[in-house]
Amino acid sequence: MSHRIDPYHYRENPLLVVISGPSGVGKDMTLKRMKELGYPFHFVVTATTRPKRPGEVHGRDYFFISKHEFADLIEQGELLEYAIVYGDYKGIPKAQVREALASGQDVIMRIDVQGAATIRKLVPEAVLIFLSAESEEALVRRLQERKTEPEDQLRLRIATARQELKQIDWFDYVVINAENQLDETCRKIAAIITAEKCRVQQREITL
């Protein structure tokens, strides 16, 4: 006999939500705007060995650490996932994710497509959302307009982005982050989370 779910004693499990997509699609800006709008989620802070960019704050945008410190985290098994991205290391500290889930909070992390693939294998019940621009041309234009890197590295990012767009099939959802529509992008992500909370069969996250 199958287990009957009682809607009057229904428990919503906390979710692990991954926001991914190619460089330049607006992952950082989307999460920053969701924070500004007051969404009640735990936003994961990624550890990275890359230098700070202008305007970035340690502990808010990233944990900026040395490669030696990063190696210690790897050896201690304290990273949910990590990868080399354009020559620098990025990783998700396990502790903050476990603590947030244990407190009942939904956890949102932004991560590159390579890292999202790792999360899919390690945490199959995570909700994976692919953030995309309106078109490939729009994505290339955004990368060009950032002017944060030399021409050869920009060409590498564009080539990588084109390959990452081909991996959308193993994501759960896709959200188009259209130009000047950031609040709408945030609303769509929040709507996905709300819908997931209404599932009869709840996702159960185990790390």
Which residue numbers are catalytic?
53, 146, 157
**β-strand pairing of 62-64 with 46-48:** parallel
Count Cβ neighbours within 10 Å for each residue of 132-146 and write b for 16 or more, e otherwise: bbeeeebbbebbeee
Q: Which residues contact 51 (CB under 8 A, 6 or more apart)?
A: 64
Residue corresponding to tokens 């621009």:
133
CA 36 to chain centre: 17
Neighbours of 3 (CB within 10 A): 5
